[in-house]
Amino acid sequence: MHFHPQAIVPFLSWLRGYRRPFFKPDLFAGLTVAVVAVPQSMAYALIAGLPVSFGLYASIVPTIVGSLWGSSSHLITGPTTAVSLVVFSTLSPLAEPNSAGYIEMALFLALLVGTLQIIMGVARLGTLLNFVSHAVLIGFTTGAAVLIAFKQLPALLGLKIEKTSVFFEHLFSIIINLHEIEIISLGLGTLTIVIILGFKNFRPNWPGTLLAMVAVGSVVAIFDLDRQGVAVVGAVSGDLPLPGLPDMHLLAQAGKLAPGALAIAILGLVEAVSIAKSIADQTRQRINVNQEFVGQGLANVSAALFSGYAGSGSFTRSAVNFRAGARTPLSGIISGIAVALTVLIAAPLAAKLPISALAGVLVVVAYDMIRVKDVARTIKTTRGDAAVLVVTFVSTLLLNIEFAIYVGVLLSIGLHLAATSHPRIQSVVPDPATGKMRASSYGETCCQMEIVAIDGSLFFGSAASVLDDLQRRLRSRPQTANLLIRMHKVNTMDASGVHVLEILLDEVRRRGGGIYFSGVNHGVFLVLKNSGYLNEIGAGKVHTTTRAAIRQAMRVSFFSAVCATCPEIVFEECPALKRGHWEIFGPGICPRDSQASLAESGHLAIDQREESHPGAPSS
């Protein structure tokens, strides 16, 4: 077994190939990301129910660790809107937001999330994300955007209402308290939104969010609006977090935190991998999904150790990183360092930031999260996608948000299983002109053998459907004794699939016939062999081509009397067999009914029934 250092320290691969020309674009991109990360991280911390400093801390060490141990050159890890919302939903029923107990739980939750993600990465479970429909992410993101926007309305309007996790209760509380709106807070929040949107439209390359917060914070400081009742962020620690373990006594709460931790782990991985792949499609970079799992897990563990909270890949900051020209993950490392310097130098300046301004930032973020084109395209694509999106969206609004993730994931997996549990099965016959197999028309079938093609895997999920279909076909043709199954498009099979074939074998044997196969791939062949099924039918009944299987069935199982009276000409051998010319299969070959009589006379000693000798010779 060879040890590869990249498995433990994957960043060695890009560090070894680093070139001096990469540094300038990486430096510029990293600083640009930091400018976006500072206001976003503070705002996202409010969603999570944490002090704004914890959002900043979550954009330092976790961002650096995610860049070092991930596989994407552009993915920026840190606080995100959706994960922050699930953090709040998980912790708020257990402790008061912003309290010391709540903060300890947030750190412990990040440790749980990171541990789960590392385990999933080490176990190489990256392929599981293929079963999470993109419609789940769109539906959840859209629902989360609506929730975030409405949850920020009280802060934007200056209202003081009781917090609730029930969407309609929250909306009702806002409506009945509209008479208590604080005009100054509303004005500051609205001014923030206007400035951000103005920069988006007229100077999109400028740090509009940061400039908006500087402008609004300056207004508060100049006019002492915080003394006039405007809620502000207050003192922000200018110290960097020291490493430390979360409170391990919270292991007793692990059972209560586990559902939320698993939901955050799944959501975070789906977010991160989706973002990394979307950028990689443009850069042609190869993404190692399992390595990304480990990178995200280590980032969340580091968040628990350095006073952050659970996060994921950020779409906004990753896109900024890519557009700014980043060449390597060093840009993410520079971003984390720049945020740390900002905390050391400029943290006291954040004290005058009004809460309504941060709410305004989040309203804009929520608006940007709703991608109308993606929603419309998903709804129009298939009914299944539309159902997953709508159910996930509604569940996000009406249920506990972590449960909404499970609903969407389970629904998408259920639809996938429903699609794969009904393989397409059709009767086929050779085309007289080309010899290739084609769908048979009404009545155009051999009297002695049914040929069917299965398009799909034969496993526990599809076994019942396949059995019902094939039994129905056999019932509709009670005189047909032989069955040939084309398995060219059967990629996998399990014990349930073998059981279906055993039932079919019993049925055709009762009729005095046999079962044949063509186009069996190596994996399926091994399943048939290991299960002992080949010993029952004989290895000679499995052929590479359908034509070889047809000729084997004719030679071993067909009766001349049936061929002589059959009105159809399905195979190219049919005219000769109708005239009794069985020597087309070779000298000494005679039909099954003749074989039986000759064997009784002692003139021919060959196997005539697969019940007595299933190992018929292969063509």
pLDDT for position 246 = 92
Q: pLDDT digit string (tens) for 342-352?
A: 999 887 788 88
pLDDT for position 354 = 92
Q: Does 340 reside within a domain?
A: yes
| Confidence check: pLDDT of 606 > 70 | no
Report, as an integer, the average pLDDT of 364-380. Answer: 89
19 Cβ contact partners less than 8 Å away, ≥ 6 residues apart = none
Whole-angstrom Cα distance, residue 529 to residue 228? 83
Range in 458-467, 497-506, 563-572, 582-591 with the lowest mean pLDDT: 582-591
Measured CA angle at 141 (ends 137, 142), to 5 deg = 120
Which residue would you say has higher pLDDT here, 538 or 330? 330
Q: How far does CA 163 lie from the centroid of its chain?
A: 33
End-of-domain residue from the set 416, 435, 468? 416
Q: Does 40 reside within a domain?
A: yes
Q: Is 328 helix (H, G, I), strand (E, B) or coil?
A: coil
Beta-bridged to residue 564, according to DSSP, are none
Q: Does 1 reside within a domain?
A: no
Range in 123-137, 174-188, 269-283, 294-308 with the lowest mean pLDDT: 123-137
Q: Does 3 reside within a domain?
A: no
Report, as an integer, the average pLDDT of 586-606. Answer: 57
Q: Give the tokens for residue 467.
A: 């059995």
The answer on 447 and 371 residing in a single domain is no
The answer on 428 and 508 residing in a single domain is yes
Report, as an integer, the average pLDDT of 168-185. Answer: 88
- Burial class, 80, CB count within 10 angstroms (exposed 0-12 / middle 13-18 / buried 19+): buried
Which residue would you say has higher pLDDT here, 11 or 62? 62
pLDDT for position 475 = 93
Q: Does 615 reside within a domain?
A: no
End-of-domain residue from the set 365, 395, 416? 416
The answer on 117 and 80 residing in a single domain is yes
Res. 77 pLDDT band, cuts 50 70 90: very high
The answer on 593 and 519 residing in a single domain is yes
Q: pLDDT digit string (tens) for 503-540?
A: 999 999 999 999 999 999 999 999 999 999 999 987 68
Kindly tell me the sign of the dihedral angle through the C-alpha atoms of 400, 402, 405, 411: negative
pLDDT for position 26 = 95
The answer on 452 and 341 residing in a single domain is no
Report yes or no: 177 and 161 within 8 Å, Cβ to Cβ. Answer: yes
| Confidence check: pLDDT of 7 > 90 | no
Q: What is the CA radius of gyration of the chain?
A: 34
* 519 Ramachandran zone, left/alpha/beta (phi>0; psi -120 to 50): left
pLDDT for position 281 = 79
Which residue would you say has higher pLDDT here, 11 or 128? 11
Q: How far does CA 290 lie from the centroid of its chain?
A: 13
> Could you tell me the CATH number of the domain that includes residue 583?
3.30.750.24
- Burial class, 512, CB count within 10 angstroms (exposed 0-12 / middle 13-18 / buried 19+): middle
The answer on 428 and 403 residing in a single domain is no
DSSP for residue 544: S
Per the structure, the complete domain to which residue 541 belongs is given by 424-601
Res. 6 pLDDT band, cuts 50 70 90: low
Whole-angstrom Cα distance, residue 329 to residue 26? 8
The answer on 451 and 350 residing in a single domain is no
Greatest CA separation for the chain: 118
| Confidence check: pLDDT of 294 > 60 | yes
pLDDT for position 4 = 53
Q: Does 8 reside within a domain?
A: no
pLDDT for position 384 = 84
Q: Does 402 reside within a domain?
A: yes
The answer on 410 and 496 residing in a single domain is no
pLDDT for position 184 = 93
Q: pLDDT digit string (tens) for 308-320?
A: 999 999 988 998 8
| Ordered alpha helix ranges (H), 17-77 | 20-47, 52-57, 61-69
Q: Is 454 helix (H, G, I), strand (E, B) or coil?
A: strand
Res. 451 pLDDT band, cuts 50 70 90: very high
Q: pLDDT digit string (tens) for 240-257?
A: 888 999 988 899 889 999
Report, as an integer, the average pLDDT of 551-576. Answer: 90
The answer on 403 and 466 residing in a single domain is no
The answer on 443 and 302 residing in a single domain is no
Res. 609 pLDDT band, cuts 50 70 90: very low
| Ordered alpha helix ranges (H), 476-521 | 495-510
Whole-angstrom Cα distance, residue 207 to residue 172? 36
Report, as an integer, the average pLDDT of 346-364. Answer: 88
The answer on 436 and 403 residing in a single domain is no
End-of-domain residue from the set 416, 437, 462? 416
Kindly tell me the sign of the dihedral angle through the C-alpha atoms of 50, 53, 55, 58: negative
The answer on 432 and 380 residing in a single domain is no
pLDDT for position 613 = 36
pLDDT for position 68 = 95
Count of domains forming the chain: 2
Q: Does 16 reside within a domain?
A: no
| Confidence check: pLDDT of 612 > 70 | no
Q: Which amino acid is at 137?
A: L
